[in-house]
Amino acid sequence: MIPEETVPRHVAIIMDGNGRWAKKRFLPRLLGHKAGVKAIERTVRAADALGIRFLSLYAFSTENWRRPEKEVSGLMSIFRFVLRRKVEEMKRENVRLRFSGFREGMPQDIVELMEWAEEETKENTGLTLVPCLNYGGRQEILHAVEQMLKDGAQPPVTEERFREFLYLPDLPDPDLIVRTSGEKRLSNFWLWQSTYSELYFTDTLWPDFDGKELENAVKYFANRERRYGALK
């Protein structure tokens, strides 16, 4: 049993390894992505049971557009399917959906589904699930600067003022960032918000990730001493 006071409020996950999971099984990459959806479902339930309040998932980065057209198209079809079929389930389970990322450039029907999902779940008071679609940390920072200039902001610029122009300014910074599949980098995820995040890396490929894996990450976090730049 993990003490409630040691559970991170916001866990962010870089879901990596779908393609390698499929390759190991001589399957098309798209089946790896579909298996990854099952891992998301397991992880959402596990996060809620552990008392995590916010779970953000790096679902599609700004760099992912460079992947083969067939794979990108398949991913968009998966997003459509999940949004159409899973929102009612999330409403029953008291999960709130919010999306982070640059919506321009996304297919318009998916943007409309995202807006519909946010509206349908906005009254839910349990876990807040934040899929990051067409998200890039550098792009978010540049977008915030552009919006500040349009707003006529004058120096000095404070962190608090800058935060107002992020995609989700009221979302708490991630306490813990988890990356699967053995890679050890942030890959342009939550660059502004991750300043004091604890980092946890696991060799587990994303489709194999489950509640036990999440619990291991939370236990790691619980044993960390967070000093925020202060001396011991």
Nearest partner of 13 among 144, 134, 223, 181, judged by Cα: 181
Catalytic-residue membership of 64: yes
Q: Among residues 18, 48, 64, 109, which one is catalytic? A: 64
Nearest partner of 57 among 79, 32, 24, judged by Cα: 79
Nearest partner of 192 among 6, 12, 7, judged by Cα: 12
Angle, to 10 degrees, between the axis of helix 29-50 and the axis of helix 69-92? 30
Residue type, 211: G
CA–CA dist 96, 170 (Å, integer) = 14
Phi and psi at residue 173, in whole multiples of 5°? -60, 145
CA–CA dist 100, 79 (Å, integer) = 14
Tokens coding 84: 């159409």
- Enumerate residues 6+ apart whose C-beta is below 8 A from 30: 22, 71, 74, 75, 78
CB 203 within 8 A of CB 35: no
Helix (H) or strand (E) holding 96: strand 96-97
Catalytic-residue membership of 203: no
Q: Which residues are catalytic?
A: 16, 64
